[in-house]
Chains A and B, each alone.
Chain A
């Protein structure tokens, strides 16, 4: 019985890992960006090795918590290398209790998709795009967000 339980819990861990922070391609990201609902999307591009990304992360997580009952979703798209998935990326997520909507974007030809996220993006991270559809509007920010400016922007867009 104990054996089965261990196996079962192992299976759960493995499957939840995969669901928890999937490796995605640009097409997945594109459909996320282009989803047209009344929900506002905050999509943050980051990486575990990026100090300014890590500095601004608590503001995003705090705001996500505060607005949990509002029509806003936070997505965290990591640009970590795929080879660092198990050794750096997953341990970072569990350390910071990042459970939802975290992805690793496996799309190494950056030049092919940066402009499709936003033509103003020059390529540094952190970078954040906020998408709202009532009315259609997109806000792009390259650089570190403060809690105040992020909160002000997102609150002005949610319904």
Chain B
């Protein structure tokens, strides 16, 4: 008891000290309002979520991805499937390549065009050449998904993270996180798993 007078300031100091170490991770969390963008598509046109062609969209599946990364490549067919399944239900895919051209020459705009042709992408494949969108969204690696829901003029983040729980073997997938999130949104139900983590290729950030 005698020591309690000393202990209180010690505790207060410890609490203060520990709070100094709470790291605020950058980027969007579920519930955040996402910014729109105007980025160059592989067809040469600028694409924004407010475009007339998206006027019926209920939201978007934003996928930060690229050409060179084996994890992105492993998911390419599944990204195509997501778009063919959900674009007609109001959730089209928009793929965005955020990698710096100097650090990752395979992810150049010209090679993006080639890749989109080869794989017959039916969705925009945009080049985030300033990396501002990837930075603002908090994309960490490729592929990294953000499911957005359109609410009036706003785009609200509903899910962030992995596409599913098995990168290498699509046949062994047991949890389809993006599908589950969108199915819940379409059914007006809360999303059971609103964010996940996965391994991917580091985004090749420009050297500052």
Contact = CB atoms under 8 A, between A and B. Distances in A.
Interface of A: 49-50, 52, 79, 81-83, 108-112, 114-115, 120-126, 143
Given A49-B201, A110-B199, 9 more contacts: A50-B201, A81-B70, A110-B198, A111-B162, A112-B165, A114-B198, A120-B25, A122-B140, A122-B197
27 contacts: A49-B69, A50-B201, A52-B202, A81-B70, A81-B168, A83-B168, A108-B165, A108-B167, A108-B169, A109-B166, A109-B175, A110-B162, A110-B198, A111-B162, A111-B196, A114-B198, A120-B23, A122-B25, A122-B197, A123-B140, A123-B141, A123-B199, A124-B141, A125-B201, A125-B202, A126-B202, A143-B202
Contacts of B172: 108
Contact of B165 (A49, A111, A123): A111
Interface string B160-178: 0110011111001011010
Contact of B141 (A83, A109, A122): A122
A103 to B, nearest CB: 15
The 4 closest A-B pairs by CB, nearest first: A124-B141, A124-B202, A122-B140, A111-B196
Is chain A's binding surface mostly helix, strand, loop or mixed?
loop
Contact of B197 (A49, A50, A52, A123): A123
